[in-house]
Amino acid sequence: MMQRDVTKWIIIFSCCVVFSCSKTTSVRPIYTPPSPITGKTYSADEITAFKQLTLNATNNIVVKLPRQVAIFLADTGYLYMTKEIDSIISQVNRLLDTNLVLTRTADRFASSLQIHLTDRNTYIGIEPSAAPVLQNAEHTGMAYLHWNDQGIVYRGSIFVDMQKTANDTLQQRYLIHHEIMHAMGFLGHVKLPSIYTVLFYFTVTPYILNYTDFDKHIMQLLYNPSVKAGIKEAEFNEVVKNL
Ligand SMILES: [Zn+2]
């Protein structure tokens, strides 16, 4: 008998909205904070921030892109954005070597990740499930991912609202960094003020236009072969001690 894929999805916003849907009104047990985990090259703050971006945002599962991902850029009319995306792709490829290989394809059907630089209604036409959220909010971007039980992303889309951010090319360049990083499996936002990142929970200005040292360091952590897709926090804590 065929096993059915249990699909999960999550919507990420480029703005600064924390996942309000995860709040609960039930009485919480008394909480004892665990002792901070540190790695060999990762500080306790870095690991806490990493968890805010990954395990805490995904119901305690490490989510990763597969080793090879073809990206389809649906809107190639903005040359500076095409250039930015290509530059991000080569930067990530250099940083992560064979642990993650991103390519750009002109064939929509050969891609597993699509980038849409358009207006809200056009994007909703392509990703209808995003409608309820996008229609009632001020979001200027989104990353929408689907992953399987093994924590591997098999489909996703990225949206930058070019209409809402018209003429603000710096914001658009920041947004594409932000959304691509979400699409790599960093689904949450960082709430530690000590951390400088494109994924901070509110938009930092001046806009961050390049991945920061922290961003690059945790990309290397998530795509370290020892950090396997699908693992949960207890296993991650054991693994990261040696990294
Ligand atoms: Zn975001």
Task: Specify the higher pLDDT residue, 20 or 201.
Answer: 201
CA of 13 to the centre of ligand 1 (A): 4
Task: Find the 1 Cα to ligand 1 centroid distance in Å.
Answer: 39
- In the block, which residue shows the tokens 């894929």? 5
For residue 104, the surrounding DSSP H or E stretch is: strand 101-105
- Rounded Cα gap, residues 60 and 25, in angstroms: 20
How far away, in angstroms, is 3 Cα from ligand 1 center? 33
The average pLDDT across 212-236 equals 98
Q: How far is the CA of 16 from the centre of ligand 1 (A)?
A: 6
Residue 64: pLDDT over 90: yes
Q: How far is CA 239 from the centre of its chain?
A: 21
Average pLDDT of the residues in 47-75: 97
Per-residue pLDDT, averaged over 208-223, amounts to 98
Q: How far is the CA of 182 from the centre of ligand 1 (A)?
A: 7
CA of 165 to the centre of ligand 1 (A): 16
Domains recognised in the chain with CATH numbers:
40-240 (3.40.390.10)
Residue 104 CA to ligand 1 centre (angstroms): 23
Residue-level pLDDT at 125: 94
Tally of CB atoms within 10 A around 93 = 15
Judge whether residue 13 has pLDDT over 50: no
Per the DSSP assignment, residues forming a β-bridge with 8 are 147
CA of 136 to the centre of ligand 1 (A): 17
From the CA of 2, how far away is ligand 1's center (Å)? 36
pLDDT surpasses 60 at 237: yes
- Give pLDDT, residue 147: 96
Tell whether the model's pLDDT for residue 73 goes beyond 80.
yes
Q: Which residue do the tokens 């950090």 mark?
A: 227
| Distance from Cα 53 to the centre of ligand 1, integer Å | 10
Query: From the CA of 17, how far away is ligand 1's center (Å)?
Result: 8
The residue-averaged pLDDT of 167-172 equals: 96
Ligand 1 centroid to Cα of residue 134, in Å, is: 13
- Give residue 30's pLDDT: 72
Q: What percent of the chain has pLDDT over 90?
A: 77
Specify burial of residue 99 (Cβ count, 10 A radius: 0-12, 13-18, 19+).
Answer: middle
Higher pLDDT, 106 or 136: 106
Confidence of residue 24 (pLDDT cuts 50, 70, 90): very low
- Ligand 1: distance of its center to the CA of 242 in Å? 29
Could you tell me which residue, 61 or 133, shows the higher pLDDT? 61
Q: Out of 70-74, 130-134, 155-159, 217-221, which region has the weakest mean confidence (pLDDT)? A: 130-134
Query: Ligand 1 centroid to 4 CA: how many Å?
Result: 30
pLDDT of residue 137: 79
pLDDT at 220 over 80: yes
Residue 230, C-beta contacts closer than 8 angstroms, at least 6 positions apart: 61, 62, 149, 150, 151, 152
For the CA atoms of 49, 54, 57, 63, the dihedral, rounded to the nearest 10 degrees, stands at 180
Does residue 15 carry a pLDDT above 90?
no
Q: For ligand 1, an ion, list residues with CB under 5 A.
A: 12, 14
What confidence score (pLDDT) does residue 25 get? 46
Grade residue 152 by pLDDT with cuts at 50, 70 and 90.
very high
Which amino acid type is present at position 223? Y
